[in-house]
């Protein structure tokens, strides 16, 4: 675990439902949602966005995700925060999709496992508000 204890980490649920999409082009990406993440590699273009804004021309899309944001900013040298969260969820067979931004991290959990995931995190000492 990092220098921060689990009890000091606050996880904030985002209100929207999210989709993870594979795109051929970013032309139809809508940037007005509460959270949008676009990643491009040499062979893939991926988008995470509110489901209501998922492009209709996506090559494939996985709908039904919920998101938790780690509150506040994290220093780049903090270690083990995501490992602690994902280990807690993996112990309950809850899969995740993780996105990091400059300031913090987001943990996406499929809607079908969301309650079990939040419960596991709370029981492990994380504060989910």
Query: pLDDT averaged over the chain?
Result: 94
CATH of domain 6-128: 3.30.2130.10
The values of phi and psi at residue 75, to 5°, are: -75, 150
Query: How many C-beta atoms surround the C-beta of residue 66 within 10 A?
Result: 21
pLDDT digits (tens, 9 = 90+) for 22-42: 999 999 999 999 999 999 999
| Residue 68, pLDDT above cutoff 50 | yes
The pTM of the full predicted model, rounded to 2 decimals, is 0.90
Share of the chain above pLDDT 90, in %: 87
> Residue 18 burial (CB < 10 Å; 0-12/13-18/19+)?
buried
Q: What pLDDT, on the 0 to 100 scale, is given for residue 1?
A: 42
Nearest to 57 by CA among 85, 82, 25, 34: 25
Structure tokens at 18: 């999210």
The Cα-based distances of 45 to 14, 92, 123, 124 in angstroms read 23, 30, 36, 35
* Mean pLDDT, residues 50-55: 97
Q: Where are the domains of the chain?
A: 6-128
| Residue 110, pLDDT above cutoff 60 | yes
């Amino acid at each position: 675990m990092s220098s921060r204890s689990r009890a000091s980490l606050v996880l904030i649920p985002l209100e929207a439902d999210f989709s993870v999409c594979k795109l051929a082009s970013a032309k139809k990406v809508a940037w007005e949602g509460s959270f949008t993440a676009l990643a491009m590699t040499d062979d893939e273009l991926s988008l995470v966005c509110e489901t209501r804004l998922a492009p209709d021309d996506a090559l494939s899309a996985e709908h039904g995700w919920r998101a938790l944001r780690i509150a506040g900013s994290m220093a780049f040298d903090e270690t083990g925060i995501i490992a602690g969260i994902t280990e807690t969820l993996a112990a309950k067979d809850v899969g995740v999709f993780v996105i990091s931004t400059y300031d913090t991290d987001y943990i996406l959990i499929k809607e079908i496992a969301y309650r079990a995931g939040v419960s596991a995190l709370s029981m492990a000492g994380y504060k989910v508000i």
